[in-house]
């Protein structure tokens, strides 16, 4: 096995940390305020147990499923992430890896690569949008994504513009020009391989957002911070606005960021195809419980009407199995593939997906199932007091 092979996501994270300038690494780590949600997303999976059999196991395991009409070779989707200065090929490398491994890819509207470049190498791209700008501007962006061949829309609504982390936030420049690079020189020079990759590609890390303008207008695309400003100044959406988004897109639609039962029901009424139970990887208001804790209540409330996926804290195949057993149709992964991308580009993302596949397969073997469709809550040991239910009146 090549020395580049990473046997776990934790190893990919260690390599990413070694390779990336500290500010870039810390921008990926993210989290907000005290970091309670970030920590809970990870530790909650560790609280869940599994109950393996030792005989009567299945030699064949089928990991395939579908979400939003797309075939998944395993119940994993690339969650959209908007951090670009990780690798010169950025989202295109991720898209190639996802296509090679048969999983769909969410593409952030804050991505650094044009959507057309990404759909050229992956036919299962789900375009992600925030509620930002005017309806007209959003409709034009949806139109561009649709024409580029995106097969679904992910509307991400769980963001509260909370600033400040107790462990400090990285300084990210408005634009990575030579002047900004010079001010980063000391930390960048400590990471020569990261610099070398960009030097070889002939480009500086790109902090613009080409998908927020019409095709061909990319030179006028806002910087990441310009886009963030437009988003922050947009009045938050109503449920009618969300129903408008669903109509305007006119195809498979996921609302990402649900953690309350009442919101899940309202999402059904707005006409969505799917929801992702999520707290934005611990980046929304701190104190939001881990999605795996609220997943069963959401599945219970709306799982027979729409598809329910979850994201947050997935780092191994057994995490995927636990989520599917508790009712998720699939999970979405964020940092896990970002670590792979940062560590080793496209092969690094493929490596992470292979680690997850191997882990799902061995958990399925131990649990005695031949298909992910057969996973049930009884496969998981859920300790008392583990689950949370948000958004229903407390019983008196
Ligand atoms: C660095 C970073 C950037 C992100 N950018 C976006 C984004 O642009 N759009 C979005 O919908 N979610 C974004 N997310 C959230 C992810 O899609 C996903 O919800 C989260 O990473 C899942 O948690 P995990 O990292 O523990 O897997 C981002 C997350 C991280 C860590």
C-alpha of 234 from chain center: 23
Q: 110 vs 171, which has greater pLDDT?
A: 110
User: In degrees, to the nearest 5, what angle opens at C-alpha 51 toward C-alphas 46 and 53?
Assistant: 145
Q: Is 2 a residue whose pLDDT tops 60?
A: no
CB neighbours of 188 closer than 8 A, spacing ≥ 6? Answer: 21, 181, 194, 195
Return the pLDDT at 221. Answer: 92
Strand segments (E) across the chain: 49-50, 65-67, 70-72, 76-78, 105-107, 125-129, 152-156, 253-258, 274-277, 307-311, 331-333, 380-381
Q: Is 391 a residue whose pLDDT tops 70?
A: yes
**Partners of 122 in beta bridges:** none
The single residue listed with the structure tokens 């090549």 is 2
Q: Distance (Å, rounded) from C-alpha 3 to C-alpha 323?
A: 31
Q: Is 385 a residue whose pLDDT tops 90?
A: yes
> Is the C-beta atom of 316 inside 6 A of ligand 1?
no
Mean pLDDT of 298-318: 98
> Is the C-beta atom of 86 inside 6 A of ligand 1?
no
Q: Kindly give the distance from the C-alpha atom of residue 51 to the centroid of ligand 1, in angstroms, as a whole number.
A: 31
Mark whether 369 is an active-site residue. Answer: no
Q: Report the interhelical angle of 36-47 vs 291-302 (nearest 10°).
A: 70
Listing DSSP states for 95-160 in one string gives: HHHHHHHT--EEE-TT-SS-HHHHHTT-S-EEEEE-S-S-HHHHHHHHHHHHHHT--EEEEE----
Candidates 354, 338, 331, 345; CA nearest to 104 is 331
Q: Is 175 a residue whose pLDDT tops 80?
A: no
User: In degrees, to the nearest 5, what angle opens at C-alpha 291 toward C-alphas 371 and 236?
Assistant: 125
Q: Kindly give the distance from the C-alpha atom of residue 384 to the centroid of ligand 1, in angstroms, as a whole number.
A: 29
Tens digit of pLDDT for each residue in 15-71? 999 999 998 899 899 899 999 999 999 999 999 999 999 999 999 999 999 999 999
Q: Is 1 a residue whose pLDDT tops 80?
A: no
Q: Distance (Å, rounded) from C-alpha 114 to C-alpha 286?
A: 32
CB neighbours of 55 closer than 8 A, spacing ≥ 6? Answer: none
Among residues 53, 71, 280, 369, the one annotated as catalytic is 280
| Residue from 110, 280, 320 to probe ligand 1 pocket by mutation (most atoms less than 8 Å from CB) | 280
Coil vs helix vs strand at 302:
helix
Mean pLDDT of 302-311: 98
Mean pLDDT of 122-143: 98
Residue nearest to atom 27 of ligand 1 (CA): 334
Tens digit of pLDDT for each residue in 222-268? 988 899 999 999 999 999 999 999 999 999 999 999 999 999 999 99
Q: Is 167 a residue whose pLDDT tops 80?
A: yes
How many H-runs (helices) and E-runs (strands) does the chain carry? 15, 12
Contact 294, 328 (CB under 8 A): no
Q: 395 vs 53, which has greater pLDDT?
A: 53
The radius of gyration of the chain's CA atoms, rounded to the nearest angstrom, is 20
> Is the C-beta atom of 291 inside 6 A of ligand 1?
no
> Is the C-beta atom of 107 inside 6 A of ligand 1?
no
Q: Is 209 a residue whose pLDDT tops 70?
A: yes
Q: Kindly give the distance from the C-alpha atom of residue 31 to the centroid of ligand 1, in angstroms, as a whole number.
A: 10
CB neighbours of 101 closer than 8 A, spacing ≥ 6? Answer: 73, 350, 353, 354, 357
> Is the C-beta atom of 349 inside 6 A of ligand 1?
no
Coil vs helix vs strand at 86:
coil
């Amino acid at each position: 096995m090549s020395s580049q092979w990473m046997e776990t996501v934790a190893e990919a994270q260690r390599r990413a940390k070694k390779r990336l300038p500290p500010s870039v690494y810390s921008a990926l780590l993210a989290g907000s305020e005290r970091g309670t949600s970030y920590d809970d997303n990870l530790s909650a999976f560790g609280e869940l147990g599994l109950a393996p059999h030792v005989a009567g196991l299945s030699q064949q395991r089928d990991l395939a499923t579908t979400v939003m009409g797309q075939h998944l070779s395993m119940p994993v989707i690339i969650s959209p992430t908007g951090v670009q200065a990780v690798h010169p090929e950025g989202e295109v490398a991720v898209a190639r890896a996802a296509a090679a491994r048969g999983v769909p890819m969410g593409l952030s509207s804050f991505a650094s690569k044009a959507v057309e470049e990404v759909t050229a190498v992956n036919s299962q791209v789900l375009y992600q949008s925030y509620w930002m700008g005017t309806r007209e501007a959003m409709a034009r962006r949806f139109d561009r994504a649709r024409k580029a061949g995106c097969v679904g829309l992910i509307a991400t609504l769980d963001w509260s513009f909370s600033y400040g982390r107790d462990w400090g936030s990285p300084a990210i420049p408005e634009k990575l020009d030579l002047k900004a690079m010079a001010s980063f020189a000391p930390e960048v020079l400590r990471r020569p391989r990261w610099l070398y990759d960009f030097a070889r590609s002939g480009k500086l890390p790109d902090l613009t957002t080409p998908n927020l303008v019409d095709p061909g207008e990319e030179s006028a695309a806002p910087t990441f911070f310009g886009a963030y400003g437009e988003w922050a100044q947009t009045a938050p959406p109503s449920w009618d606005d969300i129903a408008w988004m669903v109509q305007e897109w006119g195809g498979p639609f996921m609302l990402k960021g649900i953690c309350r039962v009442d919101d899940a029901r309202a999402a059904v009424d707005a006409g969505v195809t799917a929801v992702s139970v999520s707290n934005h990887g611990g980046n929304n208001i701190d104190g939001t419980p881990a999605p795996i804790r609220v997943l069963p209540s959401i599945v219970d409330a709306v799982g027979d009407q729409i598809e329910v996926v979850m994201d947050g804290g997935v780092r191994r195949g057994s995490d995927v199995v636990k989520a599917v057993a508790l009712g998720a149709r699939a999970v979405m992964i964020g940092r896990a593939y970002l670590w792979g991308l940062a560590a080793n580009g496209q092969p690094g993302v493929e490596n992470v997906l292979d680690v997850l596949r191997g882990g799902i397969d061995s958990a399925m073997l131990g649990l005695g199932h031949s298909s992910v469709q057969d996973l049930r809550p009884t496969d998981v040991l859920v300790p008392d007091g583990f689950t949370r239910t948000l958004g229903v009146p407390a019983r008196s």
